[in-house]
Chains A and B, each alone.
Chain A
Amino acid sequence: MAKGKGERILIIDDDNASRLIARKMLEQAGYSVLECESAEQGLTTALEEAPHLIVLDLVMPGKSGFDFLEERRQSPQLSDIPVLVLSGNDDQQSIYRARSLGASEYVTKPVVALTITQKARKLLHDRRFAVLDFEDEDSMPVARFRVIGMVRSVNEAGFLLEAPVKIATGTGVAVESGLFERIGCTDGVFLKIAGPAKLGAKGQYLNEVGMVGLAPKAIEKIRSVIRGWK
């Protein structure tokens, strides 16, 4: 499945102006942005919103950006989210410490628009893409989907069901429809897809549904109802 724009980025910075600048740059590049003023708030939001990338300031009142990185590293829910540090600290010690705590990139303020969007794009491109595979046939979860179709025509052997799905031949289906009352078949009838569906003029599949095991009386009843329509 293709990765697309609209990926979510969480900015954690206590400085309003810095947040605003970063937000504008990232939104212009097509990303969806969340903002937090503190590391504490940032941790809660990151857990709640599971962003694709975190842009983090280091010096903040209360918990620092380093504290955030430390806690992120220990959280299984957050440890895979890449972090781009955006800081006024340009000393080697801060850079080394942030890197060793798991920051993916370190950019010193003031930043130019191109740098932050380029770094964000690269980190999002390189990030670990979470996928859950069910390789073993038996472990694949079952899913059901509801389809709304239209019965267009009928005879005593079955009916033509127009739907956006081509149902596999031989599939047993339970269909809810006013058709059965209309043709006097109210005791329940076994339905089975009789043959390969054809694509109809309206761009929908025409599925041949066979009515199975109808008693002679039921067949006669259907025939007499249909005769009335002709």
Chain B
Amino acid sequence: MSSVASPFALVVEDDEMQSRLIAAVLRKLGITSEIVTTGREFIQRLKETKPSFCLVDLNIEKLGVGFTVIEAVRKVLGSGPTLIVVSGNSDTTAIAHALELGANDYLVKPIDREMLASKVVQYVSTPQLLDARSSLVPLPGDGLQAVFELELAIRQIDEFGVKLKSPHFLLKGSIVQLSSPVFLDIFGNDEPVALTVMATSAQADGLCGIEAEFDRNNEKVLVAVRKWLAKLS
């Protein structure tokens, strides 16, 4: 008879009291765990056990040690293992540093069961987790506007448009306002340029290939691009 194995978490924590607490919270969420106390042991067991995710305790007194563990995991095992930092330190510099080194998430102690469930449910699923996580609550009215910027790379420019390489996938037909130092060179100003996404395709490297066209009715833009290309050829 086969049974479905419960998700497994590997925890690095050198404080015995804390490790018992973490193991208890995980157990209640239907997750088995193993606690290790040193960075070396952690990497060794990580290779052997291939856990669903890892909790890395960043002890305030030994912050440097914790950061070294994250750095070592990424160096040895790449981006595969999911590393969730648990720390008593809510300082933005520490959070930024952990994320920069490759941590997937960062939780501030004391561990909040509901919060842990909401984060962990992205990686594993148990009935207890689904039950414990908080659900998303609709905003009153129609929601709130959010503005953000994303980065991508220009692979090719011709007189009609650009070919882009991006980790993000854009909808065909959407209009993007693109800014780039190369446009400053072409148009002589740093105003964003409007392009229409004509085609998107998944590429072998996991990135998205995007073909976007300049506004065909904006002769000023088209002329500037043609002149720039002619100057280069």
Chain A residues within 8 Å of B, Cβ to Cβ:
1-4, 6, 8, 32, 47-50, 52, 76-78, 80-81, 128-134, 137, 140-168, 170-179, 182, 188, 190, 192, 194-195, 203-205, 208, 210, 212-216, 219, 223, 226, 229-230
| Chain B residues with CB under 8 A of A162 | 143
Q: Residue A131 contacts which of B115, B152, B156, B231 (CB distance < 8 angstroms)?
A: B156
- Is A166 touching B115 in the complex (CB atoms < 8 A)? no
Which B residues between 119 and 166 are near A, CB-CB below 8 angstroms?
119, 122, 133-140, 142-165
- Is B154 touching A147 in the complex (CB atoms < 8 A)? no
- Is B158 touching A1 in the complex (CB atoms < 8 A)? yes
Which B residues between 65 and 104 are near A, CB-CB below 8 angstroms?
90, 92, 95-96, 99, 104
**Size of the chain B interface, CB-CB below 8 angstroms:** 77
Minimal Cβ-Cβ distance residue in A for B119: A157
Report the bound CA distance from A208 to B122 in whole Å: 10
Q: Residue A50 contacts which of B96, B108, B152, B226 (CB distance < 8 angstroms)?
A: B226
Minimal Cβ-Cβ distance residue in A for B156: A133
- Is B211 touching A1 in the complex (CB atoms < 8 A)? yes
| Chain B residues with CB under 8 A of A49 | 223
- Is A176 touching B146 in the complex (CB atoms < 8 A)? yes
Q: Does B168 contact A (CB under 8 A)?
A: yes
- Is A1 touching B229 in the complex (CB atoms < 8 A)? no
Q: Chain B nearest CB: distance from A102 CB in Å?
A: 15
| Chain B residues with CB under 8 A of A226 | 137
Q: Residue A154 contacts which of B104, B136, B170, B232 (CB distance < 8 angstroms)?
A: B136
